[in-house]
Amino acid sequence: MTTPLLPDSTGLLAPASCLAFAPASAAADTREGPAAPRSGFAIDVPEALLGRARRGEAAAFEQLYRWFERPVFTLALRLCGDREEASEALQETMLKLLRRVGEYRGQGPFWGWLRQIAINEALLRLRRGKRMDEVLPLDGHDPEDGAAPPPAAADAALMQRALLALPAATRSVLWLYHAEGYTHEEIGELMQRTPSFSKSQLSRGTRRLRALLQVEED
């Protein structure tokens, strides 16, 4: 069954399950267990197509661009919170794909390799803008809270507004954990912080996001 698509404020379409941080029913993931989320990048790319791309065939790159344009832009937009920066991250990611596709050696799925490039490009923009330190402040004891937001999160417009209300680094932690399936250790490494930082921002950010969405629901 085809995943339903919802319009978001970018003018693009994004998978409803991704926007809602819904659990996955398919595709490999960096976290284990039945509740691990499905990444929007989880597209099986035939080896024959990759071989053509490695040989520099323009049609092969065009196909890869069409397949991955939406997930790259959506991820960059969620992390950066800005359409122009997300567009820049998309272009840089695809340029790196063009130049470095020969470096992919089949260790893990191709989409995971490309997703890593996209995340690095988006986080680079947060560092350049000195927004990596934009986090929710300490509020005493942080109970473990990594549960998914309420059903209102299935609405793309509500999710967009709620995510944009979060600090940049907090928003990035939530998206990488809930939508992309990264572990706290992996998020800490990507953001040059500790796993504890990821855990605390996930707890605070999830509670704040749930509160924002609950207000919208009410």
Burial of 218 (0-12, 13-18, 19+ CB in 10 A): exposed
Q: How does DSSP assign 110-179, residue by residue?
A: HHHHHHHHHHHHHHHHHHHTT-TT--PPP-S------PPPPGGGGSHHHHHHHHHTS-HHHHHHHIIIII
CA separation (Å) from 86 to 4, 12, 27, 122, 176? 23, 12, 25, 7, 16
Query: What's the pLDDT score for residue 144?
Result: 56
Which tokens belong to 186? 């992996």
Selection from 100, 72, 97, 65 nearest residue 87 by Cα: 72
Please give the helix or strand (H or E) that residue 87 lies within, else none. helix 83-100
- pLDDT tens, residue by residue, 78-111: 999 999 999 999 999 999 999 999 999 888 999 9
- pLDDT tens, residue by residue, 124-156: 999 998 888 889 886 655 555 555 555 554 567
Q: What angle do CA 160, 208, 38 make, to 5 degrees?
A: 55
Is the pLDDT assigned to residue 210 strictly greater than 90? no
Is the pLDDT assigned to residue 13 strictly greater than 60? no
In the chain, what percentage of residues exceed pLDDT 70?
Answer: 73
Amino acid at 85: E
Q: Given the structure tokens 């944009």, which residue do they identify?
A: 164
Pick 62 or 5 by higher pLDDT.
62
- pLDDT tens, residue by residue, 32-44: 554 556 789 999 9
Query: What's the pLDDT score for residue 39?
Result: 87
Query: What's the pLDDT score for residue 7?
Result: 32
Eight-state DSSP code of residue 27: S
Task: Tally the residues of the chain.
Answer: 218
Selection from 168, 196, 192, 172 nearest residue 184 by Cα: 196
Average pLDDT, the chain: 80
Query: What's the pLDDT score for residue 130?
Result: 87
